[in-house]
């Protein structure tokens, strides 16, 4: 309707101007060549006037039609741009106002398209390394996995973690850490193909999607990346810590998984295996085929939204240091607890939760002053109350994660006693969660065989005797028996 009205206004304007111009020209011509009042004068005037009107009308309609067409085209381009199509361009022909409007419109759209491209690039790119970020990685992985499934081709995934990166940051500072991340990203970029997709997965962890690549070729590439990183000297670091090592997990579709989520879990499990074997190595997933690869403690990376298990182990190490425990104390407890759980028939998921809970069992003690934790004399009533509140504080901290519900009972009740005289709730016997009873035995044993500020360390034989003496009162007798069998085997292997 608006376009029709516009065209009509144009026609009317041009038509009116034509009639007026024709009349003026006619009068001027008559005045110059004819005498008024003659028949010749009247016929000539009427013919000239009609001809001028017809010619003006035809010209006006032609101009109006062309103008209306150009305006409709411009409106259509505006609609396309408003719908998100920034490839739309307007007609730039002519030196009139509509041509000028078209040129201005195209310039505006091109500027807006460049700005949008820049925003999208920034939204998809990690600001430190220049690789794509976690969110965009998930989108690209979904596309590549669907393509591999559709065409029945292979798809490999590498999960890469920088070993002991937290320590590197602590020793050299975060600017040096960011420089190291960029260098690792550069190493990865140098080694991968154009079709491969490299991303910063989070923290010190990277991921690479390898289309149409099997596990063997993926492991070869992973080894090249690991070796290149091992040989790189990071110039901004202290001379004592100028090198970094990588642990890399490899998984392949369809041999190791059946969907995208299980491909990620398989690669993540292989990465964890590389770390447990001593780090600085490449490990290919070798679990059972299926949608659910074997769970492992490295799931904590997902559960706590941390960078990887190293971060959580570092947290446990900080708690150990607060207690003056030796390095690796909590990790040793977690490993032993998981072994005991296996002997007692716990399924994999429960053993994973048990491992995690063992690491975080004393998280609440971060609120207890060192003067209380390291006190040589007996604790006062108020000090003892502080100590007994730490399971509840740890519970309150961990429950903030929606993925940690399975770990909460062990954290809250691992100081309960089998006879019901423990804390915080005085539970007894089977009322105490099994995971908490396991941690109670393992934690007590490991604490006895290390030196404490208020006593020396006990021998393994003496510590085992203490467990047997307290079985049935402080500890679950069945768990004590299972633990003693486990520790005897480990001590026998060490001997």
- Binning pLDDT at 50, 70 and 90, where does residue 352 land? confident
| Predicted pLDDT at 43 | 57
The fraction of the chain above a pLDDT of 90, given in percent, is 33
The residue from 253, 272, 294 where one domain ends is 294
Domain that holds residue 441: 297-495
- Residues 406-465 pLDDT 10s: 888 999 999 999 999 999 999 999 999 999 999 999 999 998 988 766 667 889 999 999
372/491 same-domain check: yes
Tell me, what CATH number does 427's domain have?
Answer: 1.10.3210.10
- Checking phi first, is residue 94 left (phi over 0); if not, alpha (psi -120 to 50) or beta? left
The number of residues in the chain equals: 495
The residue from 84, 119, 154 where one domain ends is 119
320/283 same-domain check: no
Q: Are 274 and 248 in contact (CB under 8 A)?
A: yes
Tell me, what CATH number does 285's domain have?
Answer: 3.30.70.270
| Predicted pLDDT at 292 | 39
| Predicted pLDDT at 176 | 86
CA 93 to chain centre: 49
Whether pLDDT at 335 is above 60: yes
395/251 same-domain check: no
254/137 same-domain check: yes
Section 212-231 average pLDDT: 95
- Residues 37-80 pLDDT 10s: 555 555 555 565 566 666 666 665 666 666 677 777 777 777 87
Residues forming beta bridges with residue 253, ordered by sequence position: 155
Whether pLDDT at 6 is above 80: no
Q: Is 467 exposed, middle or buried (0-12, 13-18, 19+ CB in 10 A)?
A: buried
341/193 same-domain check: no
- Binning pLDDT at 50, 70 and 90, where does residue 399 land? confident
142/249 same-domain check: yes
Cβ neighbours, 10 Å, residue 21:
12
- Binning pLDDT at 50, 70 and 90, where does residue 296 land? very low
Number of structural domains in the chain: 3
- Binning pLDDT at 50, 70 and 90, where does residue 297 land? very low
179/213 same-domain check: yes
150/267 same-domain check: yes
- Binning pLDDT at 50, 70 and 90, where does residue 395 land? confident
pTM > 0.75: no
Whether pLDDT at 338 is above 70: yes
- Residues 112-143 pLDDT 10s: 767 766 666 677 788 899 999 988 999 999 99
| Predicted pLDDT at 258 | 82
In angstroms, the CA 348 to CA 292 distance is: 11
140/202 same-domain check: yes
277/336 same-domain check: no
| Predicted pLDDT at 494 | 54
| Predicted pLDDT at 305 | 44
The residue from 269, 294, 319 where one domain ends is 294
252/324 same-domain check: no
Whether pLDDT at 181 is above 60: yes
240/218 same-domain check: yes
Whether pLDDT at 255 is above 80: yes
Residues forming beta bridges with residue 208, ordered by sequence position: 158, 198
Q: What tokens appear for 275 in the block?
A: 């770390």
């Amino acid at each position: 309707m608006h376009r029709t009205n516009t065209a009509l206004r144009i026609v009317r304007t041009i038509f009116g101007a034509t009639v007026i111009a024709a009349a003026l020209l006619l009068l001027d011509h008559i005045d110059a060549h004819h005498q008024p009042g003659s028949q010749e004068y009247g016929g000539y005037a009427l013919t000239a006037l009609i001809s001028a009107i017809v010619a003006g009308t035809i010209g006006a309609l032609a101009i109006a039609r062309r103008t209306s067409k150009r305006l409709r085209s411009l409106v259509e381009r505006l609609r396309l741009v408003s719908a998100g199509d920034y490839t739309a361009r307007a007609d730039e022909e002519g030196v009139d106002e509509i041509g000028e409007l078209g040129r201005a419109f195209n310039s505006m759209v091109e500027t807006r398209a460049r700005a949008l491209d820049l925003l999208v690039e920034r939204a998809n790119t990690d600001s430190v390394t220049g690789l794509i970020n976690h969110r965009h990685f998930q989108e690209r992985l979904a596309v590549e996995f669907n393509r591999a499934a559709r065409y029945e081709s292979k798809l490999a995934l590498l999960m890469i973690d920088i070993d002991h990166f937290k320590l590197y940051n602590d020793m050299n500072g975060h600017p040096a850490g960011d420089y190291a991340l960029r260098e690792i990203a550069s190493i990865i970029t140098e080694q991968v193909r154009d079709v491969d997709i490299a991303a910063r997965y989070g923290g010190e962890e990277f991921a690479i999607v390898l289309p149409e690549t099997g596990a063997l070729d993926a492991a070869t590439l992973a080894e090249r990346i690991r070796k290149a990183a091992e040989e790189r000297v990071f110039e901004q670091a202290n001379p004592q810590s100028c090198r970094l090592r990588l642990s890399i997990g490899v998984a392949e579709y369809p041999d190791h998984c059946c969907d995208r989520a299980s491909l990620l879990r398989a690669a993540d499990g292989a990465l964890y295996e590389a770390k447990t074997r001593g780090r600085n190595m490449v490990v290919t997933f070798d679990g059972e085929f299926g949608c659910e690869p074997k769970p492992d403690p490295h799931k904590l990376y997902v559960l706590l939204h941390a960078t990887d298990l190293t971060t959580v182990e570092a947290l446990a190490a900080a708690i150990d240091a607060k207690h003056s425990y030796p390095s690796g104390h909590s990790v040793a407890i977690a490993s032993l607890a998981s072994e005991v759980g296996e002997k007692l028939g716990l399924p994999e998921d429960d053993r994973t939760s048990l491992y995690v809970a063992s690491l975080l069992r004393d998280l609440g003690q971060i609120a207890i002053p060192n003067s209380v934790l390291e006190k040589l004399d007996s604790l006062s009533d108020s000090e003892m109350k502080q100590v007994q509140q730490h399971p509840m504080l740890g519970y309150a901290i961990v429950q903030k994660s929606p993925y940690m519900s399975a770990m909460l009972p062990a954290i809250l009740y691992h100081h309960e006693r089998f006879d019901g005289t423990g804390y915080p709730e005085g539970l007894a016997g089977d009322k105490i969660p099994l995971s908490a009873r396991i941690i109670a035995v393992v934690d007590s044993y490991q604490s006895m065989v290390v030196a404490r500020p208020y006593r020396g360390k006990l021998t393994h034989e003496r510590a085992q005797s203490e467990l047997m003496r307290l079985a049935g009162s402080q500890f679950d007798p069945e768990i004590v028996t299972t633990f003693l069998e486990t520790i005897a085997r480990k001590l026998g292997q060490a001997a």
